């Protein structure tokens, strides 16, 4: 398990899947805001579920997010579109409703940065999020991500086009948690 100050990232367990399906992907509004395509219902237990892991997929590294205190499942995190030639990847995360507002998102981003830069030797990490997703913007910026631009009206979400913000972090800009000043 990869450890942050509040959460750990571990492999997805079978018992995580129904919880993530119900609380993240079954929430139509949340799922529509998080995914690039339209929401559609997924039959419980389906191999098409976004919570099901394909261990053979090398460009997509999914994690379950758990509290360090007690080990409760609190969400999902992903390093996706892993590009070994350009040494880059994208970060994504989703927290269960009961886990939001506790600082877990900032910690998840920090642990994903450690994984991407130290374990995978990447040069660049990138985040795209809706412009009104203040929690993700705050988590990214607290970890050193820089706003690089806005993609105007680029995301069709629940009947309207929304802007997306593009954020990036280069390995030489990254400050691991142990090096940060209080």
Q: What is the dihedral of CA 64, 68, 73, 76, to 10 degrees?
A: -30
Query: How many helices, marked H, and strands, marked E, lie in the chain?
Result: 4, 8
**All domains of the chain in start order, with CATH:** 2-179 (3.40.630.30)
What averages of pLDDT result for each successive group of 10 residues across the chain (182 residues)?
Answer: 97 93 88 85 80 82 96 97 97 95 96 98 98 97 97 94 97 81 41
Q: What is the reported pTM? A: 0.92
Element (H, E) at 149: strand 146-157
């Amino acid at each position: 398990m990869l450890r942050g100050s509040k959460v750990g990232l571990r492999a997805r367990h079978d018992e995580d899947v129904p919880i993530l399906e119900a609380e993240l992907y079954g929430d139509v509004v949340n799922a529509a805001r998080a995914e690039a395509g339209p929401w559609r219902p997924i039959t419980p237990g389906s191999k098409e579920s976004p919570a099901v892991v394909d261990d053979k997929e090398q460009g997509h590294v999914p994690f379950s997010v758990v509290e360090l205190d007690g080990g409760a499942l609190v969400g999902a995190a992903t390093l996706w579109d892993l590009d070994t030639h350009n040494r880059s990847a994208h970060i994504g995360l989703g927290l269960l409703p009961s886990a939001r507002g506790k600082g877990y998102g900032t910690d998840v981003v920090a642990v994903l940065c450690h994984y991407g830069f130290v374990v995978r030797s990447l040069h660049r990490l990138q985040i795209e999020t809706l412009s009104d997703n203040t929690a993700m913007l705050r988590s990214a910026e607290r970890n050193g991500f820089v706003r690089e631009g806005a993609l105007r009206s680029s995301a069709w979400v629940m009947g309207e086009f929304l802007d997306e913000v593009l954020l990036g972090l280069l390995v030489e800009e990254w400050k691991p948690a142990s090096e940060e000043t209080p």
